[in-house]
Amino acid sequence: MTPKPSELVLPPDLIPSDGRFGSGPSKVRAEAVAALVDAAPGYLGTSHRRDGVRSVVRRVREGISALFQLPDGYEVLLSNGGTTVFWDSAAFGLIETRSQHLVFGEFSSKFASVTRNAPHLEEPEVIETGPSTHPLPHASAAVDAYCFPHNETSTGVMLDPRRPEGATPDQLVLVDATSGAGGLRFDPAQTDVYYFAPQKCFGGDGGLWLAACSPAAIGRIERIGASGRWVPPSLDLAIALEQSRLEQTYNTPALATVFLLAHQIEWMLHEGGIEWCASRCDRSAEILYGWAEASSFATPFVEKPDERSHVTATIDFDEAVDAPALARALRANGIVDTEPYRKLGRNQLRVGIFPAVEPEDVATLTHAIDWLVERLG
């Protein structure tokens, strides 16, 4: 008789040092939490308009500029609400009349539906493929913004963010880097707005958005801000710009979130910056996809190797393997959040392999899966 998934107890050497493999919220490093506890008495519960907190916001903004090696004139904006709220802000404050969207999964499709439903914008151009690959943007005189994700977290497909050939300098490239930022290499000069939230590669908590903006993007924000278009103040990027320059947010942020983010950015910089982070993610990806390719029952969901995400890996399983039962068995052993994106509806596991995750733990995870599959029958 096959045992129940929740009754299978992994041998101790098949338990990773940290069992958090979620694609967001993702593993928060114990060192960051300890640093927050140490700083708490003089930090938590103090005014976000005073130096104590504003200096941490400054560390975040300067740290992001250094981490991404932003070109001159690029500025880091931040405000409350996470990426989903940033989409609404972008529809108000960055897109003038019409946008083009690449859609190849849940998150890219959500942003396209925001602009489709915005009454002040024209019907967006949407270029779509199935979820196991990605389309490419193409220059279009009808649009003023090109929108696509760096990494489609729902499917584990990544792309290299580039301006479409033939795009004009007044057309903006808006990249949803929520899960890619901090773990994947990119050329900031190919982007005008590279936006993200801290709960993926930055191993922090959600609820905040950040956006690295080019001078062209800043110009667009200022122009729309002065145009008389009605914008709810909490979504107004002109206000976010003004507040960010003062090292604060328009309304009160979660101070713990800001602290954890600053700590993680400085950890990344200290270890060697984006190149170090991306190399670590490359290593985890190689372990996981290499294992799946060699396995008799698992295969990478994404066919083309260069489109396989190095931050959120998706692995399909043969019909003979019950992937939901496997995820339950892992969970019962403290290895959590390997379930796939629900709406994708695949017999799959999805593994967050962000910079905070130890590649060694990824290797242990593959051995744990082998062990469980053998016993689940």
156 vs 225, beta carbon nearer ligand PLP: 156
Q: How far is the CB of 177 from ligand PLP (least distance, A)?
A: 8
Q: How far is the CB of 197 from ligand PLP (least distance, A)?
A: 4
181 vs 221, beta carbon nearer ligand PLP: 181
Q: Can you read off the two tokens belonging to residue 61?
A: 């903004």
96 vs 176, beta carbon nearer ligand PLP: 176
Q: How far is the CB of 116 from ligand PLP (least distance, A)?
A: 17
* Residues lying near ligand PLP in the complex (CB under 6 A): 24, 82-84, 107, 149, 153, 176, 178-179, 197, 200, 206
Q: How far is the CB of 17 from ligand PLP (least distance, A)?
A: 25
Q: What is the distance between the alpha carbons of residues 49 and 45, in angstroms, rounded to a whole number?
A: 12
Q: What is the distance between the alpha carbons of residues 348 and 345, in angstroms, rounded to a whole number?
A: 8
What radius of gyration, in Å, describes the C-alpha atoms of the chain? 21
182 vs 206, beta carbon nearer ligand PLP: 206
Residues 6+ apart with CB under 8 A from 38: none
Residue nearest to ligand PLP (CB): 82
89 vs 179, beta carbon nearer ligand PLP: 179
Q: How far is the CB of 5 from ligand PLP (least distance, A)?
A: 27
5 vs 24, beta carbon nearer ligand PLP: 24
284 vs 364, beta carbon nearer ligand PLP: 284
Q: How far is the CB of 209 from ligand PLP (least distance, A)?
A: 7
Cβ atoms 213, 64 nearer than 8 A: no
193 vs 325, beta carbon nearer ligand PLP: 193
Q: How far is the CB of 370 from ligand PLP (least distance, A)?
A: 28
Q: Can you read off the two tokens belonging to residue 15?
A: 């338990």
5 vs 82, beta carbon nearer ligand PLP: 82
Q: How far is the CB of 98 from ligand PLP (least distance, A)?
A: 21
Q: Residue 286 CB: number of other CB atoms within 10 A?
A: 13
Q: How far is the CB of 174 from ligand PLP (least distance, A)?
A: 12
Q: What is the distance between the alpha carbons of residues 209 and 256, in angstroms, rounded to a whole number?
A: 14
